Chains A and B, each alone.
Chain A
Amino acid sequence: MITYIEYLSLLIIPLFILFTVLYGTFKKVRVYDSFVTGAKEGPAIILNIFPYLLTIFVAIKGFQASGAFDYVRNAFYSVFAFLDIPIEALSMAVMKPLSGSASTALFTDIVTTTGTDSMATQMSAIIMGSAETTFYVLAVYLGSVSIRKTRYLVPVCLVADFIGIVIAIFVAKWFF
């Protein structure tokens, strides 16, 4: 089942591009020129996104390096001590919304130090798979259309992230 879906997901992009190009040619579109015209928009979009990405990355990296990240995680750990959550899983819970590459590195670290069958690994796997790097998504998507007034979007995302991680922890406890 999984290998089947994996193969399907490998097939989607090539098939989609093939279909687009053939359909375009059928509709008498000069696909090469069309592609070039579209690709020309790329740099302008990235120029819009870049400052947003830079601003948020500086804050996230600084937050990690200053020791504030560890403090927040330890605070969560002592508040939720009664739930008996492994501290590694809590690191993952705080890290995942902030940074994709850092959470992948953290997950690999948790697997190697606690073993593949530990509760910490299982729980981190669920958090890793079910949460998204919220700050990155916000920076990229809002930056791409230069949105300044985000109204109540950021609180919604933070509340949803928090609930999502609580759900992930409970699902992990229930399954393993």
Chain B
Amino acid sequence: MNILWLIMICVSIVFAIFTGNLEAFTKSIFDGAKAAVEISLYLLGIVSVWMGVTRILEDSGLIYRIAHLFKPIISRLFKNIPGDHPSITAITLNVLANLFGLGNAATPLGIKAMQELDGLNEDKGTITPEMMTFIVINTASIQLIPFSVIGILASYGHRNPAAVVVPILIATAISTMTALFVLAAFRKVFR
């Protein structure tokens, strides 16, 4: 992340100087800061709501029951999660929310999953293989119906906006599998 950020900043500034976009560049820094504040406020609301809901799951013990139920599926991808650990429930709920395109639930539940996975982390501050698998699944975005894309197409009078559903499903399925394969390949090389 360090190298990537350094490259992005340096390349941007060099470009801004040579293309005469310096003013726009300086303005964009503060636009970026503003966007970060706005998104953080939005996240503050939805994350707090889901932390409230999941706390009830924890206090009632339901989180362990759901974990027990989904352990056989989840443990195929996440081999080092012990017993009926709460992280299994958080991962399951995050994947379901992603599948159904529930953005307001997916991100908070994903954060919950990261926190539960971090609870298993013996070397805090360093990523674990389980966290990597989880993030890779999330960046590959598995979704049954892309409602936002269909919505935009429909509002501009596309004759059959649902025509994009099958190709998108095929594309996400292949790219999710490829992403996991890339991760496995890197894991072999860097072990």
Tell me whether B11 is interfacial, beta carbon within 8 Å.
yes
Tell me whether A79 is interfacial, beta carbon within 8 Å.
no
Inter-chain contact B19/A147, CB cutoff 8 Å: no
Interface size class of B (residues with CB under 8 A): 35 or more
Which A residues touch B158, using CB under 8 A? Answer: 111, 116-117
Tell me whether B77 is interfacial, beta carbon within 8 Å.
no
Inter-chain contact A129/B52, CB cutoff 8 Å: no
Inter-chain contact B56/A38, CB cutoff 8 Å: yes
Which A residues touch B182, using CB under 8 A? Answer: 156, 159-160, 163
Inter-chain contact B141/A130, CB cutoff 8 Å: yes
Inter-chain contact B178/A129, CB cutoff 8 Å: no
Inter-chain contact B102/A144, CB cutoff 8 Å: no
Tell me whether B80 is interfacial, beta carbon within 8 Å.
no
Which A residues touch B172, using CB under 8 A? Answer: 129-130
A125, chain B: closest CB distance, angstroms? 5
Inter-chain contact B111/A38, CB cutoff 8 Å: no
Tell me whether B105 is interfacial, beta carbon within 8 Å.
yes
A52, chain B: closest CB distance, angstroms? 9
Tell me whether B72 is interfacial, beta carbon within 8 Å.
no
Tell me whether A141 is interfacial, beta carbon within 8 Å.
yes
Known interface pairs A112-B156, A156-B136, A168-B175. Does A60 touch B115 (Cβ–Cβ under 8 Å)? no
A126, chain B: closest CB distance, angstroms? 5
Please pick, from A5, A66, A125, A149, the residue contacting B149 in the complex, using a CB distance under 8 A. Answer: A125
Interface string of A142-163 (1 = CB under 8 A from B): 1011111111111111011101
Tell me whether A81 is interfacial, beta carbon within 8 Å.
no
Which B residues touch A101, using CB under 8 A? Answer: 35
Interface of A is mostly: helix
Inter-chain contact B9/A24, CB cutoff 8 Å: no
Which B residues touch A24, using CB under 8 A? Answer: 56-57, 59-60, 62
A159 to B183, CA, bound (A): 9
Interface string of B39-60 (1 = CB under 8 A from A): 1100110011101111111111
Which A residues touch B144, using CB under 8 A? Answer: 5
Inter-chain contact A147/B49, CB cutoff 8 Å: no
Which B residues touch A41, using CB under 8 A? Answer: 48, 51, 55
Tell me whether A137 is interfacial, beta carbon within 8 Å.
yes
11 residue pairs bridging A and B, Cβ less than 8 Å apart: A6-B147, A9-B102, A45-B47, A59-B32, A62-B13, A117-B158, A128-B146, A129-B168, A140-B111, A142-B135, A160-B183
On A, residues with C-beta under 8 Å from B are: 2, 5-6, 8-9, 12-13, 16-17, 20-21, 23-24, 26-27, 29, 31, 34-43, 45-46, 49-50, 53-68, 71, 101, 104, 107-108, 111-112, 116-117, 121-122, 125-126, 128-132, 134, 137-138, 140-142, 144-157, 159-161, 163-164, 167-168, 171-172, 174-176
On B, residues with C-beta under 8 Å from A are: 1, 4-5, 8-9, 11-13, 15-16, 19, 21, 24-25, 27-29, 31-33, 35-37, 39-40, 43-44, 47-49, 51-62, 96-97, 100-102, 104-105, 107, 110-111, 114-115, 117-118, 121, 124-127, 131-132, 134-136, 138-141, 143-150, 152-153, 156-159, 162, 164-168, 170-172, 174-175, 178-179, 182-183, 186-187, 190
